[in-house]
Chains A and B, each alone.
Chain A
């Protein structure tokens, strides 16, 4: 046996072994990613969960012990109000994103040769960090910012409109940040829509409005639901936007978590707050799965 052939043979033997052990092949593909998730996702989550049940350390950190007081503290009216506001904000943000995102996605699918460019424009904001973009919003909306300067110069207003540090600014920032997550899944489900279905509806007598309501909309529902989840979940956990654009006047659950881990140095309470948030997200995902599976069942009359 000559030397150059040896490595080839070894490689061939490994491939053969995998060919005869399909289970091993599957595991070898899953293992790297699985390990990564185990170490960097599951382990921290478990650590956080254990923290949420421990005593608070005097100078931060945690001390041994077992208590559910942090969860009970969250049941306080103050925090329930924050929780409620967070859910309302995330819901409103999702609704606005849907109203803006669906038509956008619809137009892009019909964009013809411009399609690539339009999609590129949707993805473009991701090229800079969310933080930088949020600061850009401050420059736009503050009293001496671009919008007010323009309005004053045009003589449309006599004094600047107060936009920054209002709920309006927070909502604008949230919608701006999350809109692409709504557009992209809706775009992909509209793009998959078989054009002949629309032609069939038209030949069967459906004008454009009814054709949209009876065919296009139901068939793009998976994209709508996915988009809503992709917006609703990060909107629930957001803290940067309300901090920077809301002037920390409007506190969301995300701000509570952030504050407990940083300035307040109450890690157990911060952990408990983030687990409450995770429970909410889990609830949203369960609703999504219900809706999705429901859509796959035959529609009852």
Chain B
């Protein structure tokens, strides 16, 4: 995938202050016959909130572990660089990074304050400095030192353990903080709160965060940039808006949010450069924007987000919109939105998301079985690459 290399910007960064905090150059990692990470490249800038997002088994955790030093790239498996320096063979304790583990990995035999001071003691911080820094770190994650310092991890709630794990990492004042699905085990409400707090800490401290998650919403909420991983590679790397609004493959379109897909064949090039596409099923046609992946006679697959689709009576579709006729299957009430499921020719079912404007005052009139057309503006679709 050439684009993934292209989107990781500087070609030859200088070692030293200007070097990116993290750089992967064509890194591969194989476990036996299993290729966990294949030839991935990216850079992370100082202070960035960078997420590795993907389903389980996609290679995101291996990527993080390569960064932490728990795994070593294959021989000839590229370079992992931290602040410009190649660290392929460096052990975790030589890397001066900090990490928050998925299950927190707090030492069960040590009190909260001893857990937090552990890293300082290991790194030879002056003894007189330690209590002050521990207190500061606890305040940073909003844990009252008077109340919690002497407790054991077993005497804390999940959310409190989470904060201790964070304090234990932040107390080291690392230039790079790795977070491995740290919010996976806490309840939804607290998770939302912690997401915002983490993002705020990232901005206030200027620490670079590398965040592994399988939760697309979490990644969209917090990240400056997201690397979506699939099958040991980076499927797409970009800002949350780029990833959501311009998914490059069907995998990304499906994994981040919901998408409807339409298959067809490019028939003719219109005078304005756009293409008319013959739908594979049902005999309709629609217009797609010009792009490097569209050529006459070639198959075209597009993705359209449910909220960019609209549904009209078949004879009332605005002329500038693409439309495919079908029948209403169901209307689902979700509170904020309504999902209108529409059956299209070729056993295809699409989801149209409508803003709920009040079903008691202005109800949507669609009934199951009504003839209807789904419609979208040509520029609101995304032409997908083959995976």
Contacts and interface: CB of A to CB of B under 8 A. Distances in A.
Contacts of A206: 93, 118, 122
B103 A196 contact: yes
Given A200-B107, A295-B109, 14 more contacts: A200-B99, A201-B107, A201-B118, A202-B91, A203-B69, A203-B97, A204-B98, A204-B118, A204-B119, A205-B172, A218-B109, A219-B108, A298-B150, A298-B151
Contact of A205 (B103, B113, B119): B119
B93 A207 contact: yes
A204 B101 contact: no
B70 A194 contact: no
Range class of the A interface residue count: 20 to 34
B interface, by DSSP: helix, strand, loop or mixed?
loop
Interface in A155-187: none
Given A210-B122, A298-B152, A299-B114, A203 B92 contact: yes
Contacts of B69: 202-203
B168 A204 contact: yes
A292 to B, nearest CB: 13
A298 B113 CA distance: 11
A194 B105 contact: yes
A197 B105 contact: yes
A219 B123 contact: no
Interface string A186-227: 000000001011011111111100100011001100000000
Contact of A299 (B109, B118, B172): B109
A204 B106 CA distance: 12
Interface of A: 194, 196-197, 199-207, 210, 214-215, 218-219, 295, 298-299, 301
Interface of B: 68-70, 91-93, 95, 97-99, 101-103, 105-111, 113-114, 118-119, 122-123, 150-152, 168, 172
Report, nearest first, the 9 A-B pairs whose CB atoms are least far apart: A205-B122, A204-B119, A200-B105, A196-B105, A205-B123, A202-B92, A203-B92, A206-B122, A203-B99
Contacts of B114: 299, 301
Contacts of B91: 202, 207
B17 to A, nearest CB: 23
A119 B99 CA distance: 35
Given A207-B93, A299-B110, A199 B119 contact: no
A203 B118 contact: no
Contacts of B168: 204
Contacts of B110: 299
B181 to A, nearest CB: 12
Contact of A197 (B68, B97, B107): B107
A199 B67 CA distance: 13
5 contacts: A200-B99, A200-B105, A205-B119, A218-B109, A299-B110
Contacts of A201: 107, 118, 122
Contact of B92 (A194, A199, A214): A199
Most central of B101, B108, B109 by chain A CB within 10 Å: B109
Nearest to A218: B109
B93 A205 contact: yes
A203 B152 contact: no
A94 to B, nearest CB: 23
Contact of A202 (B93, B109, B123, B150): B93
A298 B111 contact: yes
A199 B70 contact: yes
Contacts of B98: 203-204
A155 B98 CA distance: 60
B109 A203 contact: no
B152 to A, nearest CB: 5
Nearest to A214: B118
A210 B93 CA distance: 12
Contacts of A205: 93, 119, 122-123, 172
A299 to B, nearest CB: 6
Contacts of A199: 68, 70, 92, 101, 105
Given A204-B122, A206-B122, A298-B151, A219 B109 contact: yes
